[in-house]
A and B are shown apart, each in its own frame.
With several copies, the nearest count.
Chain A
Amino acid sequence: MVSITSDPIDVSSALTLLQSDQAGAIDFFLGMVRDNTQQRSVDHLEYEAYDRMAISEMRKIVEQAREQWTILKCVVVHRKGTLRVGEIAVLIGVSTPHRADSFDACRYIIDTIKQTVPIWKKEVFTDGETWVNAHP
């Protein structure tokens, strides 16, 4: 299940979606909003998504992961809008029969999301703002 939401991300609901009697392992990765980046103090983040394409790119990544590892269930939820320090920006959850697959697949999915999915993050500092990776 792949989604983009403006609401806070709930780990318990994701866990319910990942449950499977065949699952021996679940790995969750949470990307969190932290209070600083390169020594600058972050006030909040603004996430913007090209929803249609972001969903389709995330689905492709999950399919690529399913081709490489034995995955029972997979949840990817990305937040958009204004996020405060301590909030969850992205959740990846993978349930698998064996533990190595859960780590490898989860890591592949988050690493690849950061490379290809059309979602943009603006860091709003106490003294300015920057579109991450893109500022000229």
Chain B
Amino acid sequence: MNTQISVLLFGITRDLTGQSAVTLPLTEGARVSDLLESIHAQFPDLARIRSMMVAVNGEYAEPDLALSSSDEVALIPPVSGG
């Protein structure tokens, strides 16, 4: 069964996509690395950003973390606060 997952976009990722969130299909058992791959396929410009991180439910996530459609997922491009 295919579900969907929504991904929040900030900063340069929002500017490059023109959207503050994108919705992507989520296959059963998909991991963070799979999600990044399908985002890069849909928005090749994002693949050019060095050291992109992913947050799941407000915490930095490792590439092998499994996702569920109820997760709050965000792309975290290099931060520059302060």
Q: Which residues of A contact B (CB under 8 A)?
A: 31, 47-50, 52-54, 56, 78, 89-90, 110, 113-122, 131-136
Contact = CB atoms under 8 A, between A and B. Distances in A.
B79 A53 contact: no
Contacts of B82: 31, 78, 89-90, 110, 113-114, 117, 119
B79 A119 contact: yes
26 contacts: A47-B81, A48-B14, A50-B74, A53-B58, A53-B59, A89-B82, A90-B81, A90-B82, A117-B79, A117-B81, A117-B82, A118-B76, A119-B81, A120-B12, A120-B80, A120-B81, A121-B80, A122-B11, A131-B11, A131-B12, A133-B79, A134-B11, A134-B49, A134-B50, A136-B12, A136-B45
B49 A50 contact: no
B55 A53 contact: yes
